[in-house]
Amino acid sequence: EILLTQSPGTLSLSPGEGATLSCRASQSVTSRYLAWYQQKPGQAPRLLIYGALSRATGIPDRFSGSGSGTDFTLTISRLESEDFAVYYCQQYGNSTWTFGQGTKVEIK
């Protein structure tokens, strides 16, 4: 089973600042099978990025994904108030899906 480790656990930033979230896999992940989600309190997760770098429908271009192999990154170029949330990476491999433990982006 491929494990995903996200860092940092919490990111304290101000609106307008940029955010860089990391997702590291215990073994190589096919880039096409790496996704990112945003979750706000009391809501279901929302798909942001799929295939490591493709934005889902309706996702603003301040969100971008990059990476390959075992290291993937979600970048938010300029944080807006609605971006403060928890972010999860997710991978598929060997007929199983796994999620990272999440990174919380909070207002500083």
CB of 34 to other proteins, least distance (A): 9
| Of positions 8, 68, 82, 97, contacts other proteins by CB under 8 A | 97
CB of 72 to other proteins, least distance (A): 13
* Near other proteins by CB under 8 A: residue from 35, 74, 76, 79: 35
The beta strands (E) that lie in the chain are given as: 4-7, 10-13, 19-29, 34-39, 46-50, 54-55, 63-76, 86-93, 96-99, 103-107
Q: Which stretch binds other proteins (CB under 8 A): 12-20, 60-68, 73-81, 91-99?
A: 91-99
Supply the DSSP symbol for 56: P
Taking residues 45 to 84 in sequence order and writing x for each that binds other proteins by CB under 8 A, - otherwise, the string is xxx--xx----x----------------------------
Tokens of 94: 């060997």
Distance CA 35, CA 100 (A): 11
